[in-house]
A and B are shown apart, each in its own frame.
Chain A
Amino acid sequence: GAGVSQSPSNKVTEKGKDVELRCDPISGHTALYWYRQSLGQGLEFLIYFQGNSAPDKSGLPSDRFSAERTGGSVSTLTIQRTQQEDSAVYLCASSLFYRSTEAFFGQGTRLTVV
């Protein structure tokens, strides 16, 4: 596709349920990032992929969070046993390796845990 695509755009889930968020990066982009944006908190780095490997998982807030990327393309962020504090907009971005200064963002998935 022409841009980074994220699905679903909105997700409401009950506390304790698992959710999967999907990111389709721009074709050919080897770097992929997940961020979380909470109201008034700015962008919080979660995890970064180079190809299918994740050199930096330091931003994942707890072991309830995991992410994978397959085929150097699609990535899924999974949150297990969701809590209300997980409510936020989850943003995915991708970039070409050699132009790492420009990351293209999707529109995000707005997650609400009730």
Chain B
Amino acid sequence: QKEVEQDPGPLSVPEGAIVSLNCTYSNSAFQYFMWYRQYSRKGPELLMYTYSSGNKEDGRFTAQVDKSSKYISLFIRDSQPSDSATYLCAMALNNNDMRFGAGTRLTVKP
């Protein structure tokens, strides 16, 4: 079993839809939870991060962490074609050691 599991998709939605992206993990010691966005032929860039459990909202993006279920989510409201990218979840212990999911490729169609 991989430490971090993420459905690679691809996921295709119409413009304006609510998108839900998810990851599960096995290591209960993870404390930091991140979502990265990667456009084609670019390096990933940090989108959101959350420490421990709870929700965090930033504009159209909401990140949720449920440590009891070892499950994290990223919601995108009113999705736009510019949101089309690969979204990678990542998790870290306290020692800079990040583990990434495989990434979910999202396409938002106009």
A associates with B:
yes
Q: How far is the CA of A104 from the CA of B96 in the complex (A)?
A: 13
> A105: shortest Cβ distance to chain B, in Å?
3
Q: How far is the CA of A45 from the CA of B43 in the complex (A)?
A: 14
Instruction: Give the residues in chain A near B92, CB-CB below 8 Å.
Output: 100-101
> A51: shortest Cβ distance to chain B, in Å?
11
Q: How far is the CA of A97 from the CA of B41 in the complex (A)?
A: 27
In the bound complex, do residue B88 and residue A42 qualify as a contact, i.e. CB atoms below 8 Å apart?
yes
Given A45-B98, A48-B96, the answer on whether A101 and B49 have CB atoms closer than 8 Å is yes
**What is A's interface to B at a CB cutoff of 8 Å?**
4, 31, 33, 35, 40-43, 45, 48, 50, 55-56, 91, 93, 95, 97, 100-108
**What is B's interface to A at a CB cutoff of 8 Å?**
6, 8, 32, 34, 41-46, 49, 51, 88, 92, 94-103
In the bound complex, do residue A91 and residue B49 qualify as a contact, i.e. CB atoms below 8 Å apart?
no
Given A42-B8, A43-B44, A108-B43, the answer on whether A103 and B88 have CB atoms closer than 8 Å is no
Which residue in chain B gives the minimum CB-CB distance to A107? B43
Instruction: Give the residues in chain B near A103, CB-CB below 8 Å.
Output: 46, 98
Judged by DSSP, the binding face of A is: strand
Most central of B46, B51, B98 by chain A CB within 10 Å: B98
In the bound complex, do residue A43 and residue B103 qualify as a contact, i.e. CB atoms below 8 Å apart?
yes
Within 8 Å by CB of A56, from B41, B49, B51, B97, lies B97
Instruction: Give the residues in chain A near B94, CB-CB below 8 Å.
Output: 100
Which residue in chain B gives the minimum CB-CB distance to A38? B102
Most central of B34, B96, B99 by chain A CB within 10 Å: B96
Q: How far is the CA of A104 from the CA of B51 in the complex (A)?
A: 18
Q: How far is the CA of A92 from the CA of B104 in the complex (A)?
A: 20
Instruction: Give the residues in chain A near B88, CB-CB below 8 Å.
Output: 42-43
In the bound complex, do residue A105 and residue B97 qualify as a contact, i.e. CB atoms below 8 Å apart?
no
> A107: shortest Cβ distance to chain B, in Å?
5
Q: How far is the CA of A104 from the CA of B36 in the complex (A)?
A: 10
Which residue in chain B gives the minimum CB-CB distance to A44? B100
In the bound complex, do residue A105 and residue B44 qualify as a contact, i.e. CB atoms below 8 Å apart?
yes
Q: How far is the CA of A104 from the CA of B94 in the complex (A)?
A: 17
